Amino acid sequence: MELDAIQQQLLEAVAGLHRIPTGAYNIRANGKSAGRNSTEHIDIVPKEDGSGIDIIIKPGTKNESVHMPVVLSQTGLTEVVYNDFHIGDDCDVTIIAGCGIHNGGDASSRHDGIHRFFVGKNAKIKYVEKHYGSGDGKGERIMNPQTIVEIDEGGYMEMDTVQIKGVDSTDRKTEAVLKAGAKLVVMERLMTHGTQSAVSEFKVDLEGEDSGANIVSRSVARDESSQVFISKINGNNKCSGHSECDAIIMGNAKISAIPEITANNPDSALIHEAAIGKIAGDQIIKLMTLGLTEAEAEEQIVNGFLK
């Protein structure tokens, strides 16, 4: 299947792809498969009921990548996709997913991706996810991603998510269960503008001894937009957990940060930090003394903050 110009542009925005990637990939466009490639170590298999795909990465696979972009350019399309990643023991792989919606029409377009990760013992994965919306139709662009993670003993997952532009409404859920020695590191970057709304909810269960999670969210809410950040960390063993929400608020936006840390074991060390505030006035002034206008200064500060 050929991608049209809009789809190619979306593909570039979410996956940095100009053409067909190397390695394993699955490209989904307007609800259909637009290309798929398995490799010697990475098998991509459609689920029998057609609801999504299974990605099976053989134990010991190192330095390989999987690209999983989704593009939607047909107005009014609503889809739910289930993708399961089975990452074998001792792997070291990068998975790049992302979703771009272009909505030029008046009906809502919506993509709900449910990604489950089964990370094997001592495996290491980096998961990168970008969300992007474009198009000037009145139809909303909606994305409700769910990420469900199980990390086996000694496994490590780094999750890097970005949603900077054009998504009208998002309700993101991330759940993780960590066994002994497993680590999860999340860096979420979010910007909302106009009347957009975003909810991001994390729930992490630190089950195993010496498991650890670090969840960092940096966000900017402008105009009339609203954001809710919820993080729940349960320490059920000797473990460490840290969550941090750092937000810049502009215009008439609204932001809430709702932390919940629960220690069910006296050896769990849990920290939550949250800060919401305007751009500091002296930051703007410093950049103005370098010759930037107030608006240019704000732009620089916001870009740096979300970088």
Check residue 48 for interaction with another protein (CB under 8 A): no
Q: Which is nearer to another protein, 20 or 280 (CB)?
A: 280
Burial class (CB in 10 A: 0-12, 13-18, 19+), 277: exposed
The one among 175, 209, 246, 260 contacting another protein by CB under 8 A: 246
d(Cα 153, Cα 297) in Å, to the nearest integer?
A: 46
Q: Compute φ and ψ for 54, nearest 5 degrees.
A: -110, 135
Check residue 300 for interaction with another protein (CB under 8 A): yes
d(Cα 123, Cα 154) in Å, to the nearest integer?
A: 7
Of 60-68, 178-186, 206-214, 284-292: span binding another protein (CB under 8 A): 284-292
Residue span 64-103 as binding mask against another protein, x where in contact by CB under 8 A, dash where not: ----------------------------------------
Angle at 62 (CA atoms; ends 91, 113), nearest 5 degrees: 60
- Residue where the block lists tokens 């809430």: 256
In this structure, which amino acid lies at residue 239? C
Check residue 20 for interaction with another protein (CB under 8 A): no
d(Cα 292, Cα 277) in Å, to the nearest integer?
A: 22
Please state the closest distance from residue 162 (CB atom) to another protein, in A.
14
Of 13-21, 25-33, 124-132, 280-288: span binding another protein (CB under 8 A): 280-288
Please state the closest distance from residue 290 (CB atom) to another protein, in A.
5
The helix/strand/coil state of 286 is: helix
Check residue 287 for interaction with another protein (CB under 8 A): yes
Check residue 271 for interaction with another protein (CB under 8 A): no
Q: Which is nearer to another protein, 143 or 287 (CB)?
A: 287
The residue among 241, 244, 248, 235 whose CA lies nearest residue 280 is: 248
The binding site for another protein (CB under 8 A) comprises 218, 246, 280, 282-283, 285-294, 300-301, 303-307
